[in-house]
Amino acid sequence: MGAVNTLELAQELYDLVGELYPVRRSLTGPGVRRTLEIVARYVPLDVVEVPSGTQVLDWTVPDEWELREGWIATTDGVRVVDTSATSLRVLGYSVPVHAVLRRDELLDHVHVDPAAPEHIPYRTAYYDRTWGFCLTQRERAALSDDRYEVRVDADRGPGHLIYGEVVLPGTSEAEVLLSTHVCHPELANDNCSGIAVLALLGRRLAARDRRLTYRLLFLPGTIGALAWLHANRARAGRIAHGLVVAGVGDPGPLTYQRTVHGAHPVDRAAAMVVPARGGSLLDFSPWGYDERQFNAPGFRLPVGRLSRTPHGTYPEYHTSADDLSFVQPASLLDSLTALEEILSILEGDATYRNLAPYGEPQLGRRGLYAGIGGERDQAEVKLALLWVLNQSDGTRSLLDVAQRSGLPFAAVAHAARLLLDAGLLERVERPQR
């Protein structure tokens, strides 16, 4: 997608994660608005607002929530826990409270993570009218006084769910859906990394010629995807391919989770890219990020997921340890590059018909063998020419040819262009899904 200084791009990705990290996001509220303002510097976002109480499929849009501060203090005014360093201290969507409580009453509202006792856990209560604090196990054990004063200074009431959307038109109406969630506060990998990678990917896509149309979504998790699907049921059939981008900055290898279809072109494109970069492939599971909404039975949109270490399998997941030190510039760049390689395959995939199918056409007199001297690997391109001619019966795509032959997709696509220019192929239009 154009020459670029990779070190500068990696640093730009990391710097954007650093800018997004301290923003106190939640499912709704000013943190999401601020996040979308940052993203809008990279892509021309349209911001969609959905009022609280709106029915979206089987769900209801919750109230809007804004946290100003929260703390636990001894009765003589010494704060032993507060949100000055991180908003993870307060249970997400806590209702306001200001009270003096017995220790046992307070502990009923304290959350810890036994699997990560030294870290502050990230916990939420979007639909429950409750409140709470999140502590390390050591901090919880240190609450030894008989009484404590607690305060959660927050607003929770009617407002709006908001999400950002941008469409980058191509010459085809077939769409690629690219989505990431924007609701997690002060978690660098999950999901400042996904926001940063998708924002810069959008900027790079906008600057290039496109065959496919790209729809980028920056959504609060689950309810944001459901709200988009509810509003776009009639047009969802345009989605030819899709990827959810989440958790793409940690030091682990890439992971791609297949769509529910299992062998959709986006799955096959990812299978050519991710293992070659040292990553692994997973079968679809209805447990994860917003891919489970897009792949639901009523929609069955072909949306896979690109991550690094799978969610829930690393100790930093959903804790205060998911900070800027956990995210690496090289990992962010590797994730962006993998996405671009997958999209490049989808962009270049096409189906052709051999116009000289009775025996092998003489390529030498058409200048094809002479024309590839000094280009790429000559033997590889010659072999690719023969594979494309052999398989181009109007039913097999270039992705099919690449998989059958074991050749790189780029070599197969290059051979197809040479054969098309020589008048030996014609393009066959086939449905995208």
Answer for the pair 84, 53: CB distance below 8 angstroms, yes or no: no
Q: How much is the pLDDT for 378?
A: 76
DSSP letter, residue 261: T
* CA dist., res. 17 & res. 37, Å (int): 14
Q: How many CB atoms lie within 10 A of CB 340?
A: 18
- In Å, what is the CA distance from 107 to each residue of 121, 132, 145, 149? 15, 9, 12, 12
C-beta of residue 267 within 8 angstroms of C-beta of residue 304: yes
CATH of 65-156, one of 1.10.1740.10, 3.50.30.90, 3.30.590.20, 3.40.640.10: 3.50.30.90
Residue 208: count other Cβ atoms within 10 Å of its Cβ.
Answer: 11
Residues 306, 242 contacting (CB under 8 angstroms)? no
Q: For the structural domain made of 6-62+160-348, what CATH number should be given?
A: 3.40.630.10
| Domain ranges in the chain with CATH number 3.40.630.10 | 6-62+160-348
- Which residues are bridge partners to 281 per DSSP? 256
DSSP codes of every residue in 31-64:
HHHHHHHHHTTTS-PEEEEEETT-EETTEE---E
For the chain, residues classed under CATH 1.10.10.10 are 351-428
pLDDT, tens digit, 9 for 90 and up, residues 280-319 = 999 999 999 999 999 999 999 999 999 999 999 999 999 9
Cα–Cα distances in Å, from 164 out to 25, 195, 204, 327? 14, 11, 18, 24
Q: What pTM value is reported for the model?
A: 0.94
Output the CA–CA distances (angstroms, integers) from residue 356 to 275, 360, 392, 394, in the order listed. 36, 8, 10, 13
- What does the pLDDT read at residue 433? 52
Residue type, 424: L
Phi then psi for 347, rounded to 5 degrees?
-65, -40
Where, residue-wise, is CATH 3.50.30.90 in the chain?
65-156
| Distance separating alpha carbons of residues 255 and 305, to the nearest angstrom | 8
pLDDT given for residue 376 in this prediction:
53
Model pLDDT, residue 84: 94
The confidence score (pLDDT) of residue 1 equals: 42
Contacts of 234 (CB under 8 A, 6+ apart): none
* CA–CA dist 166, 188 (Å, integer): 23
Q: Which one is the CATH code of 351-428: 3.30.2290.10, 1.10.3470.10, 1.10.40.60, 1.10.10.10?
A: 1.10.10.10
- Residue 176's alpha-carbon distances to 211, 238, 246, 432, in angstroms, are 11, 9, 17, 11
The stretches of 21-143 forming alpha helices (DSSP H) are 30-39, 103-107, 137-141
For residue range 21-53, list pLDDT tens digits in order.
999 999 999 999 999 999 999 999 999 999 999
Question: Which tokens in the block code for residue 30?
Answer: 């000013």
Please report the pLDDT score of residue 3 as a whole number. 45
Within the chain, which residues score under 70 in pLDDT?
1-4, 370-377, 431-433
pLDDT score recorded for residue 374: 52
Residue 212 confidence (pLDDT): 97
Say how far apart CA 53 and CA 250 lie, in whole Å. 36
Amino acid, res. 429: E
Copy the structure tokens of residue 120: 């502050």
